[in-house]
Amino acid sequence: MELLENAVDALKAGREPSLEDLTSQQTEVELRMPSLLPDDFIPDVNTRLSFYKRIASAKNENELEEIKVELIDRFGLLPDPARNLLDIARLRQQAQKLGIRKLESNEKGGTIEFAEKNHVDPAWLIGLLQKQPQHFRLDGPTRLKFIQDLSERKTRIDWVRQFMQQLEENAIA
């Protein structure tokens, strides 16, 4: 859906849309944890697919919150994989606003790959690298590697969310 919207935007701007341009605008978030709507939570396949589509096309945090409230109202408390799915969708929105192409995290840390045009303040990032070299280092011109103990699901999501918040607070226009 987003690819189609990006193609239409390119045509409206008088540009020929290319597949490379369209896919480069996608933000990928991988936290190495189950993130799905389990079939024992939403038994009907069509309903599940409808919620996946709504989550993927949500434009902001408010829309995701509305979906979360509806899920809880219709199906009960969210299982961990469903909470993960919504958390990752929020992180994807946040990362996209900052100009982050890819965010990966696992038990030991992860990487953030910045798009060529991003809103992260390079001076703030350099300061972070100097203050905490044991936790952060550059891996090429556009990749930031972070080393943290993130073995617990909640710890991983919370740490990534807080770091993304720091990036937002130190963003440039």
116-139 tens-digit pLDDT = 999 999 999 999 999 999 999 999
Domains, the chain, in order of start with CATH, read 1-25 (no CATH), 26-169 (3.90.1150.50)
The answer, yes or no, to whether residue 2 has pLDDT greater than 60, is: no
Q: Alpha-carbon distance 24 to 29, whole Å? A: 14
- What is the share, in percent, of the chain residues with pLDDT greater than 70? 86
With cut-offs at 50, 70 and 90, classify the pLDDT of residue 26: confident
43-84 tens-digit pLDDT = 999 999 999 999 999 999 999 999 999 999 999 999 999 999
- Please indicate, yes or no, whether the overall pTM of this predicted structure exceeds 0.85: no
Q: Alpha-carbon distance 152 to 108, whole Å? A: 10
Number of Cα atoms under 13 Å in the Cβ half of residue 20: 0
